Amino acid sequence: MALDASWVDGDDSNLQPEELRAVARANPERQAEFATGRRIARRLLAAWGLPPIAIGVGPLREPLWPPGVFGSIAHAGKLCSVALSRRLPLGIDLEFAQPLERDVYEEIVNASERSGAPLGSLTTTALFCAKECFQKARTFHARRWFEFREVSAVEIAEVGDAWRLELSGPAGIPALRVCAARAGNFLVAAGF
Ligand SMILES: CC(C)(COP(=O)(O)OP(=O)(O)OC[C@H]1O[C@@H](n2cnc3c(N)ncnc32)[C@H](O)[C@@H]1OP(=O)(O)O)[C@@H](O)C(=O)NCCC(=O)NCCS
């Protein structure tokens, strides 16, 4: 696995024509975060000896990786992170390290998860990150969006400023094990 992160700097000179087309109508902030993800991804691919190919955008907004590579991209604020694997589909997510607001909580956290992730706790955000990781990693298997109610945590364990979670989804979709941790103002999660 390879992982790197960078601050978004607004330099989109690295984008290739196919990528430029994908964000042509986006606002400058969105173009900048997209470009940062592609720049980090190409840096990681180069470290594996792979060429600096375009990383297109699939029908579900997923990044299109070269054959034999799985990857995931996340943004929060001005931070961007990319993780790659040569073995398994994976998902990463970044959020600000603050508990979910009540309305988001009610939408994201299922009744069965509420004792393990009580309103007002940072565990709620770890669970949200884990569900975003589930979407990103399991798009590869399902080729569709999931509803939040389709995916439930079967394990939520808090260990200091970190969490271990396991998420189970619809029949036929592999469970996802996620590690989440606080890193300064951010909460970062990754799952296979
Ligand atoms: C897809 C989604 C998870 C992305 O999360 P986000 O908070 O909007 O944004 P993030 O910065 O965390 O991630 C964005 C990156 O995710 C990746 N991404 C977007 N859609 C994706 C998908 N379907 N599969 C895999 N990766 C995807 C892209 O690389 C994108 O960055 P880029 O456009 O610069 O390449 C989110 O937009 C979403 O729609 N969630 C609702 C569906 C969902 O999460 N269901 C979960 C049920 S358990």
- Beta carbon of 140 within 6 Å of any ligand 1 atom: no
Q: How far is the CA of 154 from the centre of ligand 1 (A)?
A: 22
Q: How far is the CA of 162 from the centre of ligand 1 (A)?
A: 22
- Beta carbon of 131 within 6 Å of any ligand 1 atom: yes
Boundaries of every domain in the chain: 2-85, 91-191
CB 125 within 8 A of CB 73: no
- Beta carbon of 108 within 6 Å of any ligand 1 atom: no
User: Does the predicted TM-score (pTM) go above 0.95?
Assistant: yes
- Beta carbon of 75 within 6 Å of any ligand 1 atom: yes
Q: How far is the CA of 119 from the centre of ligand 1 (A)?
A: 24
Question: Which CATH class, in words, describes the domain spanning 2-85?
Answer: alpha beta
pLDDT tens for each residue of the chain, 192 residues long: 999 999 999 898 999 999 999 999 999 999 999 999 999 999 999 999 999 999 999 999 999 999 999 999 999 999 999 999 999 999 999 999 999 999 999 999 999 999 999 999 999 999 999 999 999 999 999 999 999 999 999 999 999 889 999 999 999 999 999 999 999 999 999 999
- Beta carbon of 116 within 6 Å of any ligand 1 atom: no
